[in-house]
Amino acid sequence: MKLLLPSVVFLLQVLQACSDCAPGHTVTGLVGGQAILPCIYEVTGPVSLTSARLYWQFPPKKVAYAFLEGKPEEQYVESHYRGRTTVPKTELIRGNFSLQLNNLTVKDDVEYHCYFFLNNRKAYECQLQLHIAAPYQPPVLSASRGESLGAGLPVNLSCHSFGGFPAPVVNWTDDAGRPLGRDTEVNTSVEQDPVSGLYNVTSSVRIIAAVGTSVRCSVFNSRIQQRLDSIVWAYTSSNTSLPFKAAHPQYLIILYVSAAVIVCVCFVVAILCTRSKRYRGVRTVDRQNHIKVDSSATGNLFCSIVYLLTPSSLFSFTFPLSLSLPPSLKSSVTLPLLCYTSLLHPSSV
């Protein structure tokens, strides 16, 4: 049963790929995936493998797979195909010469011919085209950032996508999907990676900014019917710089996250300080905020933690914020800050 299951799966894949095995039949596969090139020979009985020869070739008469005298022969196969092509023996006996091609690359996008010889005479032949495709990455829309931007001024927009195959079609539309005016000049350049064979595409357009103007670009892969849209660039009268929907400067995100982490650390340490019941020793009082600070060994331990975790450059930023908190939380947040100050400047408390 375990030996029969792979054969059944392979046969189903062949039937799916061979919905129309007439000459000129095409098969589409994705880069890195697998493709089944169908070729079925109707026989009345089992094929004698010892007297059979099978070749899968591509122009100009190069070999992608060879089966001679009852076994595959890698020595005749082009190096690009070695280890990637197979025809199961269990299927070959039944007249199923379909080729399984693994780990597809752009170079596999060619026309293939299958030749079957029985007792040194050609008994059957198949011909089909393998189309390779690769999906593109979502296009990124960017704009030139000049010193001035206003209604009636030109704006240069650029759209970039990569990692796809074959070469795409780039379209520029407004937010509603309507094409831009006929007088809009569009420049599109496509470059193919010399190693992977995948395409990088860059398209640019120059428009005149006006209130309500919205523009987006799209990349279309016709082979797999893939359409990807960019974010929308929109201009309004209140804009003083180039606006993007859903855009956010990365440096602001880093700043917000860093500040949040520091505040959280200070808050946790403050809670530990206030809940400690080992307050003993000399106490000093901040008269302005009515907060008592313990300078005992335990208090100094927590204060030292605050000192190590809190950069001095952010103390002046965090302390005013702590004073604006509700009275129930003010002491918990302000305490580690005063500890921090006392360690840096003991004479100030």
Reading the chain (349 residues) residue by residue, the pLDDT tens digits are 444 434 433 333 443 444 344 556 899 999 999 999 999 999 888 888 888 999 999 999 899 999 998 899 999 999 999 999 999 999 999 999 999 999 999 999 999 999 999 988 999 999 999 999 999 999 999 987 654 567 788 889 999 999 999 999 999 999 888 998 877 889 999 999 999 999 999 999 998 888 888 999 999 999 999 999 999 998 876 554 444 444 334 434 555 566 676 766 666 666 665 555 444 444 444 444 444 444 444 445 444 444 444 444 444 444 444 444 444 444 444 444 444 444 444 444 4
Regarding beta strands 85-86 and 99-101, do their DSSP bridges make them parallel or antiparallel, or are they unpaired?
Answer: antiparallel
In SS3 terms, 215-261 reads as: EEEEEEECCCCEEEECCCEECCCCCCCCCECCCCCHHHHHHHHHHHH
Burial class (CB within 10 angstroms; exposed 0-12, middle 13-18, buried 19+) of 312: exposed
Tokens, residue 329:
């939380």
Q: Which residues pair with 37 in a beta bridge?
A: 99
The pTM is what? 0.62
Q: Could you tell me how many residues make up the chain?
A: 349
Strands, DSSP E only, in the chain?
Answer: 25-30, 35-37, 52-58, 62-68, 71-72, 85-86, 99-101, 111-118, 121-133, 140-143, 154-164, 169-173, 186-192, 199-208, 214-221, 226-229, 233-234, 283-286, 291-294
Give yes or no for a contact between 282 and 293, defined as CB atoms under 8 angstroms apart.
Answer: no
